[in-house]
Structure 1
Amino acid sequence: MSNPYAEIFRARGTKGFAAAGFVARLPVAMAPIGIVAMLSQTHGEYWLAGAVGATFALANALVAPHISRMVDRFGQTAVVAPAAALSAVAFLALIAASNRGWPVWTLFVSAFLAATMPSMPAMIRARWTEIFRNTPQLNTAFAFESAADEMMYIAGASLSVGLAVALFPEAGMLVSTLFLAFGTTAFLAQRSTEPVVRLTAATASTGSAIRLPAVQIITFALIFIGAIFSAAEVSSVAITKELGQPGAASLVIGVYAAGSFFIGLILGALALKTPLQRQLLVAVGIIMVTTVPLLFADTVPLLAFAVFVSGLAISPTFITAFGLIERRVPETMLTEGVTWVMTGIGIGMAFGAFATGWVVDTFGAQNGFWVSVVSGAIALLTVLLGQKTLGADREAPMPAPAHQPAE
């Protein structure tokens, strides 16, 4: 039996853009935590560090889909290059403002401008789609990308904090910025795999991908999947601290990501015939069911096992979600569609962390997992009600709203 992952990398140019893309995507995980690690040391105020980090994260969540929409219309090189350059310069300004003690407002302005950082996971998936569109290999490529995303969050966040603590406060952000600059440059230099721009008269008048029902359903569902992801992290930290073993938190969180990583790789090697919308329903259903045992995990070994089981269906959910986006969204809106889903995950992780923190402070560490249970139920209900829409044919581009002349 041939190795399906070796098969996708036999295609010309795939090794190059995948390697460069992994480096370019690391700032997605490094920058938000790097900002907090840097400012908490240089300014000694966690509220300020959190506020500046949130400014970047929320602004990026709002800006990234619009950048991707421009990519669909004008091409990756034409849009990603200036957007990444502006983001890198803004990050350097943020580092300088932190190091030199510039006024607080410069921190917020720099973080806001840095939000033009493109969604590199979406750019990479667009290239895989261009090469393997409507073939079984695309599912394998998406599985590889989901595994790479898992590694990005594990390695990126750890590297950013580790550098800031071991070297100097700005080290994590400086390395993140260098990865953004050099990784993006190397990625864009490989023009042979850049997706073709399918700009037509119809494309020019197309509205946003978020207006498509399939994108709305998947994005809304993955907001709550992202909340489950962050709730597990925050609750694990709180519970291990309460049990007097705070150092075990990193092990528990690592187990959570490891389970998802390996299941994702296995799924990518299979050629499942079940419709993708059914696969998504099953994956989200498993996530919802496996959040319940987390409420009863009152020892570190039991917590690690429950978290491992709960994380098994995360990658399958992401793989099928992106597969549905590829099959339901018009080709001229693919990058934007993928970015909206990535944005949904990010928003869910941010609000999930906030909600879990409040629950832990108010009702105790163990009850933080109720955020996971409730989020799982909402995600499952969303996917269940959206089965008919998700199983329909590829949606046609929707025209932008006509301008209404003033009366």
Structure 2
Amino acid sequence: MLHERRADAPLVSLAGRWYFPIAFIARLPFAMMVVGVLTLVVASRDSVALGGINSASVGIGSAVFGPLVGVAADRFGQRAVLVPVGLANAVLLGVLPLVVAGTAPDLAVLTMSFCIGATAPQVAPMSRTRLVALIRRHTSPARRDRVFSGTMAYESAADETVFIIGPFLVGLLASAIAPWVAVAGAAALTLVFVTAFALHPTGRLVVGGPAQETRAPARQLLRPRLLVVVVGILGVGLFFGSTLTTLTAFVEGHGEASQAGLLYGVMGIGSAALALGSAAFPRSFGVTWRWLVFGLVLLGGAIAFSRADSIGSVVLVLGILGIGIGPTLVAQYSLGSDRSPVGRSATTMTILGSAVIVGQSVASAVVGEVAERAGTGAAMLFPAFAAGLVVLAAVADLLLARRDTRSPAPEPSEAAAAG
């Protein structure tokens, strides 16, 4: 149970010793879905194109219904939403291998893939919402900024890690046993750990309810300074999908197909370390500038990646990419949390999480097709395009901040009308 604790108590003590392991493992199925569905469909139906379309359908389902899951959690509470959504997702993942292996038409498989994305449990954004609520309620004002920064750093590092481990687990299980095992494993993880996360005592922190008078109108989710963060984090998702797909094609061309997941993990090492280290950055190095600076590091590494011609050079470049991606994600999630409309924290975080999975899904489908038709060289340009989008969004964010700084302050009546 959660108890009132002293204002200087560590966040681990406030959340409970089992919270962080449960929340971490509960994220894995979300990171395994896109690659797992792609691998299963390609192996069972012998069609790369069909596999790419199905992986994109997972992302589209998440994009369409993920934010609605967040809205429902803000209104009715996380427990009331996560339990049925998680159970539905586990059932769909468990049944998918049977449908794909059977005689069901491709349209039926496509529909199931969309439904898997639509019922994807939004664990990461809901975890952020819970931890932010804990910090605001139980942390002293003097410590709040530092604890918040460290928490966002951990959450981003956890996301980065699962988006590395997830595809790696899919590849390992598919090659060692069978492609269907990866999807079945995701179903089991969802059933056990998503349910445990939903029922954890921290789930009571944000109970929602129609009587919440401070909930901002939904149109505030369309504010430019929040939308630019969504675009930036979509670029990160595109980067994830294009890098993994391109790396897979590259190592296959060098006769080392089994090493794709291991090489991809090189990027995760530096990324997780720098993401966790973001909490130590001085306050004078603002979050918006961190996004731009490390986005430029990501862009430079992606350009170098497009010119790599050996396994050794790819490993070196992946290390550089890890330096850029971790702090960039921390900055984007921190800005998203800070700019979330009142009472719509879960909705905002779910939109950001959905943007990552959408970008990953679309990039996996498109870049896989390009690699097959135009060759690996052409496909290796796509991570640079994705990193360029991240940088452009960072520049747009700085310009919007400067515009807002120069704008005159609203009159009291206007501020009240704006909520």
| TM-score, normalised by the number of residues in structure 1 | 0.85
User: In the alignment, which of 309, 314, 320 is matched to residue 298 of structure 1?
Assistant: 309
Tell me how far apart the structure 1 counterparts of residues 416 and 394 of structure 2 sit (CA, whole Å): 22
Matched AA of 2:306: L
> 1:223 aligned to 2:234?
yes
Which sits farther off after the overlay, 348-357 or 309-318? 348-357
Q: Which residue of 1 aligns with 2:298?
A: 287
CA deviation vs aligned residue, 1:167-200 (integer Å, no higher than 9, x gap): 3443222221111111122112222453334655
Q: CA deviation at 1:14?
A: 4.0
Go from structure 1 to structure 2 and tell me whether the alpha carbon gap of 1:309 and 1:173 turns closer, same or farther (over 3 Å shift). same
User: Which residue in the other structure is 1:3 paired with?
Assistant: none
**Residue 274 (str. 1) matches residue 276 (str. 2):** no
Q: 1:246 to 1:81 in 2, by over 3 A?
A: closer
Which whole-Å CA distance do the structure 2 matches of 1:111 and 1:125 have between them?
A: 27
Which residue does the alignment assign to 2:147? 137
State the 1:95 CA deviation.
3.4
The one of 110, 118, 121 aligned to 2:121: 118
Matches within 5 A, 1:51-130: 51-114=53-116, 115-130=118-133
**Residue 391 of structure 2 is aligned with which of 380, 391, 396?**
380
Partner of residue 194 from structure 1, selected from 170, 190, 204: 204
The count of corresponding residues between Structure 1 and Structure 2 is: 394
Change (3 A) 1:48 1:373: closer
Deviations, residues 106-139 of structure 1 (Å, cap 9, x unaligned) = 4333333332122111011111111124431121
Q: Distance in 2 between matches of 1:97 and 1:244?
A: 32
Shift of the alpha carbon at 1:323?
A: 0.7
2:272 to 252, 261, 280: 261
| Contact preservation (8 Å) 1:122, 1:339 | yes
Tell which deviates more after alignment, 164-173 or 82-91. 164-173
2:164 touches 2:268 (CA, 8 Å); kept in 1?
Answer: yes
Change (3 A) 1:283 1:92: same
The answer to whether the 8 Å contact 1:24/1:181 transfers is no
Match of 1:292, as an amino acid? I
Higher mean C-alpha deviation, range 180-189 or range 121-130: 180-189
Question: What percentage of aligned pairs have identical amino acids?
Answer: 21
Aligned AA (2:161) = M
**Residues 118 and 248 from structure 1, CA distance in 2 versus in 1: closer, same or farther, beyond 3 angstroms?**
closer
Specify whether residues 99 and 264 from structure 1 end up closer, same or farther in structure 2 by C-alpha distance, changes over 3 A only: same
1:48–1:376 Cα change, 3 Å: closer
- CA–CA distance in 1 between the matches of 2:355 and 2:73? 19
What SS does structure 2 have at the residue aligned with 1:32?
helix
TM (norm. structure 2) is 0.83
Residue 165 (structure 2) aligned to one of 137, 141, 155: 155
Q: Among residues 321, 338, 350, which one is paired with 1:310 in the alignment?
A: 321
Work out the CA distance in 2 between the residues paired with 1:352 and 1:104: 21
- RMSD, aligned CA: 3.1
The alpha-carbon distance between structure 1 residues 96 and 262, as it changes in their structure 2 partners (threshold 3 A), is same
- Aligned pairs for 1:199-218 within 5 A: 200=211, 206-207=217-218, 210-218=221-229
In 1: Cα distance, 2:113 partner to 2:95 partner:
9
Structure 2 residue identity aligned to 1:131 = L
Q: 1:164–1:170: 8 Å Cα contact kept in structure 2?
A: yes
Q: 362, 377, 388: which is aligned to 1:351?
A: 362
1:181 aligns with 2:166: no
CA drift at 1:355? 4.2
CA distance in structure 2 between the partners assigned to 1:99 and 1:374 by the alignment? 36
Which residue of structure 2 aligns with residue 403 of structure 1?
none
- Which SS does the other structure have where 2:380 is aligned? helix
1:275-300 Cα deviation digits (max 9, x unpaired): 22222222212222332222332222
What residue identity is the alignment partner of 2:133? Answer: E
Is there any run of 5+ residues in structure 2 with no aligned partner, and where?
1-8, 137-143, 406-414
Amino acid in structure 2 at the alignment position of 1:54: A
Q: Is the 8 A contact 2:58 2:114 kept in 1?
A: yes
Distance 1:328 1:177, change over 3 A: same
What is aligned with 1:146?
156
